[in-house]
Amino acid sequence: MQPFNSQTSATNKKPSSGSLVLLDCKEQDTITAHRMLGKDASEQIHKILTQRMEAFATSNQVAKQIRRARKYQATLDSKLLVPTINSDIKRAIHQYQACISAWADGADLKNFRHSNLADEIDNFPVYAEDLATILQEDEVGCQTGALRESGDSIILWHSEEDYEDTPGQRFDKLRLFSFKSAGENSAYGFIYPDLLPGPTFGWQSGNFIQAIDTLHVKNEEFSAALLPNTIAWLSLYLGTLVTRQELVSQLGPFQGGYSITAALKIDGRVSIEKIEFANSQVAAHSLENESGSFFFQTNIIADLSQPIGVEEDTTAESRLWNEKRIMRTSRLIKVIQKSADAFPLVFRLLRSRLGGDSAYSNQDVKAHLLCRMTPKNTSILVGAGPAGHGAELLRFEE
């Protein structure tokens, strides 16, 4: 899959305000690519990690976070010893471990220092991987939709929102990162500077795309659990080699929760799968084959009557706010369903300013995505910031 935009070849070009820059590393091996990503975002990673250290306030609180990070690493190691886990998943776990180490190396986390951070904790040095894992315990993602058209094609869309108290607090620039995934496919992901690819939106060349939304769930402490962002990376890396249900059911429980909506093309057939996972609970959904069927996901569990519903932890006000988003989208989809060509109308939906702070095109949107996948081809549009605000779109076709 090749991007049709001259800007995408400018890997090291300083972006203009609000532009989206492609860090193109797909010709490198996967580990080297992640080292390059860490190096590219190094300054911002150090800035964000410093903010974390100061938010923890005391050295004892920082030590607690280091112990949590080590527990997550040990849990990931333990999954490699489970005989029932898919061999593709195990190989992906090995790759994830190598990539997070390479990312930490590229970001020069071994030389990170802060007054709240001791050189040793529990008689072991604080390693760069410990600090990198601390950063991964942060769930992101906002709203995702999927609509089935006639002829076995689907449209998937996503807007990625992140509130910053001050500009530049989290994003120094807006990155799209490309790297080799399992099977040597090219993978792409929108990047938060302090996170590995996966927990926003991303795709593999032509046959797989995913979008992820945070679920606000109860804070439970497990003796052995994985971070949702680890699952997000594994899902993007593995693509069509596994289903999301297989991945989540084999690797749970989790310290938090996400909803993953994924479109897959296998043997010329296009399908949509959505899975919500929260702590030890999982709810899987598939999009019906009937034209006009659709999903829409925000930051709440879709059906509280299912067992996963007991894991939700949000205010009544927040749930109502999200439900209004869902109702507004459902009304607009009823109009779109009547159209002979839904793609431009969904793009208009992404540009909508209806709803103020909860509109698709609101001031907190960092990037947006629109995809159409058919049995014959895949088209993807990616833009910086809210849709329709004037930034140049990157177009990918296969």
238 DSSP β-pair partners: none
Q: How confident is the model at residue 377 (pLDDT cuts 50, 70, 90)?
A: very high
User: Mean pLDDT across the chain, nearest whole number?
Assistant: 91
Of the candidate ranges 218-222, 327-331, 357-361, the one whose mean pLDDT is the lowest: 357-361
Q: How confident is the model at residue 71 (pLDDT cuts 50, 70, 90)?
A: very high
Phi, then psi, of 190 in degrees rounded to 5:
-75, 135
Digit-coded pLDDT (tens) for 126-166: 999 999 999 999 877 689 999 999 888 999 999 998 878 78
CA dihedral 100, 193, 262, 237 (to 10 degrees): -30
Digit-coded pLDDT (tens) for 255-299: 999 999 999 999 989 999 999 999 999 999 989 989 999 999 999
- Judged against a pLDDT cut of 70, whether residue 58 lies above it is answered with yes
Q: 230 Cβ partners below 8 Å, 6+ apart?
A: 72, 76, 96, 136
With contact defined as beta carbons under 8 Å apart, do 240 and 295 qualify?
no
Domain map (residue ranges) of the chain: 27-136, 143-397
C-alpha distance from residue 173 to each of 5, 106, 131, 201, 281 (Å): 18, 17, 22, 17, 36
Compute the average pLDDT of residues 320-328: 92
Alpha-carbon distance of 279 to 297, in angstroms, equals: 18
Phi, then psi, of 27 in degrees rounded to 5:
-85, -10
Position 141 scores a pLDDT of 66
Class of domain 143-397: alpha beta
Q: 152 Cβ partners below 8 Å, 6+ apart?
A: 269, 270, 289, 374, 375
pTM listed for this prediction: 0.94
Amino acid present at 381: L
Greater confidence (307 vs 221) lies with: 307
- Judged against a pLDDT cut of 90, whether residue 240 lies above it is answered with yes
Q: Can you read off the two tokens belonging to residue 208?
A: 């797989």
C-alpha distance from residue 19 to each of 14, 186, 252, 334, 384 (Å): 10, 22, 37, 33, 6
Q: Helix, strand, coil % (nearest 5) of the chain?
A: 35, 25, 35
Alpha-carbon distance of 3 to 362, in angstroms, equals: 26
* Secondary structure of 43-111 as H, E, C letters: HHHHHHHHHHHHHHCCHHHHHHHHHHHHHHHHHHHHHCCCCCCCHHHHHHHHHHHHHHHHHHHHCCHHH
Position 396 scores a pLDDT of 94
Amino acid present at 363: Q
* Cis preceding linkage at 375, omega within 30: no
Position 183 scores a pLDDT of 84
Query: How many Cβ atoms are within 10 Å of 131's Cβ, its own excluded?
Result: 24
Chain centroid offset of residue 306 CA? 24
Alpha-carbon distance of 109 to 90, in angstroms, equals: 26
Q: 19 Cβ partners below 8 Å, 6+ apart?
A: 7, 173, 174, 384, 391, 392
Q: Can you read off the two tokens belonging to residue 143?
A: 């709203």
